[in-house]
């Protein structure tokens, strides 16, 4: 892979426009009748495939199943090994908390423990978000600061919240407290580096004080902390590729990921049609649009094959509105596969479709895993998609004389 | 990619012979009727394809459009990121100037400026080569040395020349003086590193003195300098692969590139038939031949699709003469694509054909982008072609016991 710094030096700003349409968890495996993409009635995507070029991408490398963070980071053109985004940061940016570069964030899960402090439910029965809010208000009132370190708590959803530690000399290299098992105590947030001793003692005190505040609550009388992390030192898409990028995503985490790489986050609604309307309204203002569709992944995670098919078909019906905008480059892909039969993310390559006047067309005539396998782009790391999109939009100058 | 040093340790000298036939800018994209390679009547190349194995190469990596330098360096088996060749060096070696490792070379373009020193033409109306020679003679007579640094000037063609600075303590890390725009002054050759302060002052004095010499000339009353560079520290093909390599190229820049990696440059004529005659005459003397055909690229750059087709057909008719020599390995490929519709280099993969008794044949029966896409070699970096050619010629020993 060519160093990012070289691609940066070749990037030029042009009026051409790129749309990266991500159907989260799109790829699947067939259990007989075909994959959701193969079964779906999607004439518009098929037309794009016929006019463009297909291929397959490995989100990270063969066999590696990515979380949403690294999968998107790759797609945006950043080496997912070099730029690892902690779970805490991911949650915090997903709910639009503004972080300073020195903040340590962690994701909290409200949990239940018995009188011997043994964990009985790692998610406190997935308490309603409103109950979470009440508990976070309570904790926030009681615990504002520990040894000079400010503590900021925010509800995310159901049992999930974010804790941010802000102050001098804090360090995110701490062990997670979630034992990932029931009938045992939560773990100590031990320092993983001597520089994190102070932060470790602050977090221990935070847990002790919070447990006292929650002592009378049921079922959420404690919590588990995961993914202590700081903002990564990551260049923006504008710095790297001279893009003016915008993100359209109904789900917070994807807005957070887009914000991390400097995309402007556009307000949008809950439906796919709302997202396409947002694209239309903002078309003249940006030259790169990341449009994120969540529910292909959600239904994959639920093992709901027919609903995953429906989301593909719903998206397909909106493609003519995208085409009417006359983008120079359209890419349709997933961030990772979420096979319905596996009910979770997987390592299978993503289907990829690129449609532009500058592609070398292949013989493919529909958009599916099988067609992508014989597509002209072959198989490539997802990290190489962004340079390809820039190239097809004629936004990259020649390397060397 | 396996480290070059390991391939070096496995290389053995054998009597087998390899021909690397490069049709510059060969790859293209179809705008309906097919690509030039698909449209061309080329039964001999098709026969080679049927007897061999096809594939596609990325000159650098997906999406990256290379200049001729990095594209050829890759094909010759050198990492184009590790070995970057400056424009000045490329021009100087292209006209057979012999350089010492400490020389700083730069490409000069004669230009026109008005009475306020604002650039009015960055190429001085592309003055005839003879006029260039007259001006270079004049400058060479007036400026031989500056602060102990020898200045060597050579005409290239039309408005282009090479300036070489030779002496103690010089350094090529200087800014280019070409503003890449009209109506502005030329730029200062500022040092990009403190070590280049002295060289910067020498080049400034050179420009001042030269501008005084040229003051009365029209239209070439000044010049712009680009691509200050030194010879890269690059091992020869003989050192690396125990080859005895020769280059047959009608165009100077490609002779220069071949000379950089230690190929013997064979005298040849302007036509493709001349190049094949040179191959025949020198067949017994070398075991690796790089044969370069320029005009597929030139016509691609001109957007001249039919002429690009003709060059492929002209080459095809000469293939029987190549076969009569009974090479052990024949590779036919491009260095990069030059789609006629884009009128310039592009990032699209190169078609690649390898014909040898040792290939695992695929099902392809003609040489075209579409066939190469389904070829048995798949898609690989151009950098990996050279080890493949050595392997097919049985010039690489086993790695490990």
Q: What is the pLDDT of residues A57-78, one digit of tens each?
A: 999 999 999 999 999 999 999 9
Among chain B residues, the shortest Cα distance to A54 is held by B373
| Average pLDDT score over residue span A19-43 | 96
Angle, alpha carbons B176-B108-B268 (nearest 5°): 130
CA B176 to chain centre: 21
Q: CA dihedral defined by A267, A268, A269, A272, rounded to 10 degrees?
A: -160
- Domain contains B401: no
> Is residue B307 scored above 80 in pLDDT?
yes
The answer to whether the CB atoms of A399 and B64 lie below 8 A apart is yes
Give the span between the Cα atoms of B199 and B288, in whole angstroms: 40
Domain identity same for B212 and B146 = yes
Give the span between the Cα atoms of A297 and A299, in whole angstroms: 5
pLDDT of residue B388: 98
| Average pLDDT score over residue span B191-215 | 97
Strands A104-113 and A222-229: antiparallel
Q: Is residue B124 within 8 Å of B219, Cβ to Cβ?
A: yes
Domain identity same for B278 and B241 = yes
Half-sphere exposure of A74 (CA within 13 A, CB side): 27
Domain identity same for A359 and A247 = yes
Contacts of B30 in chain A (CB under 8 A): 360-361
**B68 part of contact set with chain A, CB < 8 Å:** yes
Residues 6+ apart with CB under 8 A from B264: B244, B245, B246, B247, B286
Nearest one of B397, B394, B395 to B357, comparing CA atoms:
B394
Which member of A1, A376, A391 has the closest CB to residue B347? A391
Query: What would you measure as the largest C-alpha separation in chain B, in angstroms?
Result: 73
Distance from CA of B59 to the nearest CA of A (A): 10
SS3 for B338-391 is CCCCCCCCECCCEEEEEEECCCCCCCCCCCCHHHHHCCCCCEEEHHHHHHHHHH
Is the backbone of residue B50 left (phi > 0), alpha (psi -120 to 50) or beta? alpha
User: Could you tell me the pLDDT band of residue B51, with boundaries at 50, 70 and 90?
Assistant: very high
SS3 for chain B is CCCHHHHHHHECCCCCCEEEEEECCCCCCCCCCCCHHHHCCCHHHHHHHHHCEEEEEECCCCCCCECHHHHHHHHCCCCCCCCCCCHHHHHHHHCCCCCCCCCEEEEEEEEEECCCCCEEECCCCCCCHHHHHHHHHHHHHHCCEECCEEEEEEEEECCEEEEEEECCCCCCCECCCCCCCCCCCCCCCCECCHHHHHHHHHHHHHHHHHHHHHCCCCCCCEEEEEEEECCCCCCCHHHHHCCCEEEEECCHHHHHHHHHCCCEECCCCCCHHHHHHHHHHCHHHCCEEEEEECHHHHHHHHCCHHHHHHHHHHHHHHHHHHHHCCCCEEEEECCCECCCCCCCCECCCEEEEEEECCCCCCCCCCCCHHHHHCCCCCEEEHHHHHHHHHHHCCCECCCCC
Distance from CA of A377 to the nearest CA of B (A): 9
Domain identity same for A270 and A383 = yes
| Average pLDDT score over residue span A287-296 | 97
Which member of A2, A378, A401 has the closest CB to residue B378? A378
**B177 part of contact set with chain A, CB < 8 Å:** no
Nearest one of A319, A304, A305 to A272, comparing CA atoms:
A319
Half-sphere exposure of B383 (CA within 13 A, CB side): 18
Contacts of B346 in chain A (CB under 8 A): 358, 391
Decide: residue A347, CB within 10 A, 0-12 exposed, 13-18 middle, 19+ buried.
Answer: middle
| Average pLDDT score over residue span B255-263 | 93
pLDDT of residue B33: 87
The answer to whether the CB atoms of A358 and B346 lie below 8 A apart is yes
CA A315 to chain centre: 19
User: Could you tell me the pLDDT band of residue B40, with boundaries at 50, 70 and 90?
Assistant: very high
Domain identity same for A95 and A68 = no
Q: Is residue B170 within 8 Å of B163, Cβ to Cβ?
A: no
- A304 φ/ψ angles, rounded to the nearest 5 degrees: -95, 85
**B81 part of contact set with chain A, CB < 8 Å:** yes
Decide: residue B282, CB within 10 A, 0-12 exposed, 13-18 middle, 19+ buried.
Answer: middle
Helix, strand, coil tally for chain A in percent (to 5): 35, 20, 45
What number of other Cβ atoms are within 10 A of residue A187's Cβ?
A: 14
**A358 part of contact set with chain B, CB < 8 Å:** yes
Domain identity same for A240 and A370 = yes
- Per-residue pLDDT reduced to its tens digit, A183-228: 999 999 999 999 999 999 999 999 999 999 999 999 999 999 999 9
> Is residue B94 scored above 90 in pLDDT?
no
- Domain contains A330: yes
- Domain contains B339: yes
Q: Is residue A364 within 8 Å of A371, Cβ to Cβ?
A: yes
Q: Is residue A151 within 8 Å of A145, Cβ to Cβ?
A: yes
Q: Is residue A312 within 8 Å of A48, Cβ to Cβ?
A: no
Domain identity same for A250 and A192 = no
Average pLDDT taken over every residue of chain A? 96
- Per-residue pLDDT reduced to its tens digit, A261-272: 999 999 999 999
The answer to whether the CB atoms of A362 and B370 lie below 8 A apart is yes
Among chain A residues, the shortest Cα distance to B90 is held by A401
Q: Which of B37, B61, B109 to mutate to test the interface with A (most CBs of A within 10 A)?
A: B61
Which member of A3, A386, A400 has the closest CB to residue B70? A400
A:262-281 residues touching chain B, CB 8 A cutoff? none
The answer to whether the CB atoms of A358 and B370 lie below 8 A apart is no
pLDDT of residue A2: 84
Distance from CA of A142 to the nearest CA of B (A): 55
pLDDT of residue A208: 97
Domain identity same for B203 and B240 = no
pLDDT of residue B95: 86
* Among candidate residues A204, A229, A254, the one where a domain is terminated: A229
Domain identity same for B303 and B214 = no
Which member of A7, A363, A380 has the closest CB to residue B370? A363
> Is residue B215 scored above 90 in pLDDT?
yes
Q: Is the dihedral of CA B231, B235, B239, B244 positive or negative?
A: negative
Give the span between the Cα atoms of A388 and B61, in whole angstroms: 9
Residues 6+ apart with CB under 8 A from B332: B21, B23, B45, B48, B351, B352, B353, B355, B367
The answer to whether the CB atoms of A2 and B81 lie below 8 A apart is yes
Domain that holds residue A148: 90-229
**B87 part of contact set with chain A, CB < 8 Å:** yes
**B61 part of contact set with chain A, CB < 8 Å:** yes
Q: Is residue B66 within 8 Å of B349, Cβ to Cβ?
A: no
The answer to whether the CB atoms of A391 and B80 lie below 8 A apart is no
Give the span between the Cα atoms of A302 and A125, in whole angstroms: 18
Contacts of A401 in chain B (CB under 8 A): 67-69, 85-87, 90, 227
- Domain contains A123: yes
Say what percent of chain A tops pLDDT 70: 100
pLDDT of residue B2: 85
Domain identity same for B46 and B182 = no
Which member of B67, B344, B379 has the closest CB to residue A400? B67
The answer to whether the CB atoms of A380 and B62 lie below 8 A apart is yes
Give the span between the Cα atoms of A36 and A28, in whole angstroms: 7
The answer to whether the CB atoms of A360 and B379 lie below 8 A apart is no
pLDDT of residue A253: 86
Give the span between the Cα atoms of B63 and A237, in whole angstroms: 17
Distance from CA of A335 to the nearest CA of B (A): 19
- Domain contains B398: no
> Is residue B286 scored above 90 in pLDDT?
yes
Q: Is the dihedral of CA B24, B27, B32, B33 positive or negative?
A: positive
Which member of A359, A379, A398 has the closest CB to residue B345? A398
Which member of B30, B65, B85 has the closest CB to residue A361? B30
User: Could you tell me the pLDDT band of residue B1, with boundaries at 50, 70 and 90?
Assistant: confident
Give the span between the Cα atoms of A145 and A150, in whole angstroms: 4
What's the structural domain count of chain A? Answer: 2
Partners of A164 in beta bridges: A105, A152
Measure Cα distances from A239 to A73, A262, A397, B400 in Å. Answer: 15, 9, 16, 45
Among chain A residues, the shortest Cα distance to B79 is held by A2
Distance from CA of B14 to the nearest CA of A (A): 33
What number of other Cβ atoms are within 10 A of residue B348's Cβ?
A: 30
Distance from CA of A360 to the nearest CA of B (A): 5
Measure Cα distances from B302 to A372, B306, B337 in Å. Answer: 34, 11, 13
- Domain contains A399: no
Domain identity same for B252 and B388 = yes
- Return the CATH number at B332: 3.40.720.10
> Is residue A1 scored above 80 in pLDDT?
no
Angle between helix axes B305-324 and B43-51 (nearest 10 degrees) is 60
Say what percent of chain B tops pLDDT 90: 92
Strands B53-58 and B350-356: antiparallel
Which member of B61, B227, B347 has the closest CB to residue A1? B61
* Among candidate residues B179, B209, B229, the one where a domain is terminated: B229
User: Could you tell me the pLDDT band of residue A252, with boundaries at 50, 70 and 90?
Assistant: confident
- Domain contains A338: yes
- Per-residue pLDDT reduced to its tens digit, B131-159: 999 999 999 999 999 999 999 999 998 99
> Is residue A32 scored above 90 in pLDDT?
no
- Domain contains A400: no
Contacts of A3 in chain B (CB under 8 A): 81
- Return the CATH number at B202: 3.30.70
pTM given for the model: 0.89
Nearest one of B275, B342, B283 to B308, comparing CA atoms:
B342
> Is residue B401 scored above 90 in pLDDT?
no
Domain identity same for A207 and A65 = no
**A363 part of contact set with chain B, CB < 8 Å:** yes
**B56 part of contact set with chain A, CB < 8 Å:** yes
| Average pLDDT score over residue span B298-318 | 97
What number of other Cβ atoms are within 10 A of residue B307's Cβ?
A: 17
* Among candidate residues A207, A229, A251, the one where a domain is terminated: A229
Among chain A residues, the shortest Cα distance to B29 is held by A360
pLDDT of residue A178: 96
């Amino acid at each position: 892979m060519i160093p990012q710094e070289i691609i940066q030096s070749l990037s030029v700003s042009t009026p051409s426009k790129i749309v990266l349409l991500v159907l989260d968890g799109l790829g699947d495996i067939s259990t007989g009748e075909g994959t959701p993409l193969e079964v779906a009635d999607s004439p518009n995507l098929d037309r794009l495939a016929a006019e463009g070029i297909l291929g397959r991408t490995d989100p990270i490398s063969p066999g590696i199943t990515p979380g949403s963070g690294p999968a998107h980071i790759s797609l945006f053109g950043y080496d997912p090994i070099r730029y690892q985004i902690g779970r805490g940061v991911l949650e915090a940016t997903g709910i639009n908390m503004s972080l300073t570069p020195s903040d340590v964030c962690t994701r909290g899960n409200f949990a239940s423990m018995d009188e011997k402090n043994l964990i009985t439910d790692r998610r406190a029965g997935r308490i309603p978000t409103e109950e979470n809010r009440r508990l976070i208000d309570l904790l926030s009132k009681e615990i504002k600061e520990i040894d000079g370190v400010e503590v900021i708590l925010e509800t995310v959803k159901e049992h999930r919240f974010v804790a941010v530690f802000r102050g001098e000399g804090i360090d995110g290299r701490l062990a997670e407290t979630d034992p990932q098992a029931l009938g045992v105590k939560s773990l100590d947030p031990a320092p993983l580096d001597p520089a994190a001793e102070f932060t470790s003692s602050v977090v221990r005190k935070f847990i002790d004080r919070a447990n006292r505040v929650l002592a009378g609550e049921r079922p959420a009388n404690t919590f588990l902390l995961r993914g202590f992390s700081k903002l990564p030192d990551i260049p923006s898409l504008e710095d790297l590729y001279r893009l003016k990028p915008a993100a359209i995503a109904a789900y917070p985490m994807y807005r957070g990921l887009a914000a991390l790489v400097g995309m402007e986050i556009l307000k949008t609604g809950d439906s796919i049609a709302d997202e396409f309307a947002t694209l239309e309204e903002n078309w003249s203002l940006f030259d790169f649009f990341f449009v994120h569709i969540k529910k292909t992944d959600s239904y994959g995670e639920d093992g709901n094959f027919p609903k995953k098919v429906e989301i593909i078909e719903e998206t397909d019906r909106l493609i003519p509105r995208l085409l009417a905008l006359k983008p120079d480059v359209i890419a349709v892909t997933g961030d990772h596969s979420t096979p319905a039969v596996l009910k979770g993310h997987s390592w299978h390559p993503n289907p990829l479709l690129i449609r532009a006047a500058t592609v070398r067309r292949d013989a493919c005539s529909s958009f599916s895993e099988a067609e992508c396998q014989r597509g002209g782009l072959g198989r490539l790391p997802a990290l190489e998609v962004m340079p390809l999109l820039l190239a097809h939009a004629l936004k990259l100058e020649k390397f060397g004389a």
